[in-house]
Structure 1
Amino acid sequence: METYNAEARSHVESRSDGDVRVVVMAGEFDIDNVTDLRIALDPAASGVTRFVLDVAAVTFVDSAALGIMLQPALDRPVVLAGAVPRRLARLLELTGADMVFATAPSVAEGTVMVVPPRQG
């Protein structure tokens, strides 16, 4: 498991589960502290067929962080796992990004669930 904690306001952990990268996000993510998130969600990561983001402990996401969350979704599934916090759910709804992400009740389910291809 890789742990990133350069910013006190946010915490990112990532680990591989086969060809799935699980990324645990906690705290506030904005333009000033997205470096760790960018590393964990590298859209050029080889051998990764899916990203599962545990977002249950996220308290804030700005447009810069949302853009980073969306990058890997251009060519592979990104699943939001756990209860999506109300503020994040509202941002996803307002931007239409809720149509991009699949959702799962848990990380375990997010790693194995069938994700239908996006219509686009």
Structure 2
Amino acid sequence: MVARADSERFTVAVRAVDGAVVLEVAGELDHDTVRPLRDALDAAVAPGGRVLVDLARLGFCDSTGLNVLLHSRLAAREAGGSLELAGLRGPVARMFHITGADGLFPVHADVADALGEVGGPSR
């Protein structure tokens, strides 16, 4: 499975890797650009498997983006799966830290760490 949604300011690419669905996001995530991520997350979490969102190339995320991720985290849990984050950096990492949202998700240094991790994610 590989899917991609592009706009001038935001992209999301979806692929299956080692039993997980990986969403690679890049650009600016806000009220005007959130729909492709919301749609991709809705489809990814519904089956109840492991979903990993790679935020390494995300330069900006507002409260709209954060709310979509939080909602999808709950939807994943209700479906018997998980929603994990990788690559929190810069202003996006700061926003997650300030809001306390980084403590609600399993957080990995990067996708390779997440996919190769045996002992569980860091927080």
Q: Give 1:1-120 correspondences, 5 Å limit.
A: 1-5=2-6, 7-17=7-17, 19-42=19-42, 44-46=45-47, 48-74=48-74, 75=77, 76-82=81-87, 84-113=88-117, 114-115=119-120
Matched-pair contact (CA < 8 Å) for 1:12–1:37: yes
The alpha-carbon distance between structure 1 residues 45 and 18, as it changes in their structure 2 partners (threshold 3 A), is farther
| Per-residue deviation, residues 93-113 of structure 1 (Å, max 9, x unmatched) | 121101112122221331353
**After TM superposition, where is structure 1 displaced by more than 6 Å over at least 4 residues in a row?**
none
Partner Cα distance (1:72, 1:37) in 2: 10
Matched-pair contact (CA < 8 Å) for 1:23–1:53: yes
Q: How many corresponding residue pairs? A: 114
Please report the TM-score for the alignment, with normalisation by the length of structure 1: 0.82
Partner Cα distance (1:112, 1:73) in 2: 21
How many percent of aligned residue pairs carry the same amino acid? Answer: 34
More helix by share: 2
Please report the TM-score for the alignment, with normalisation by the length of structure 2: 0.80
Partner Cα distance (1:106, 1:89) in 2: 13
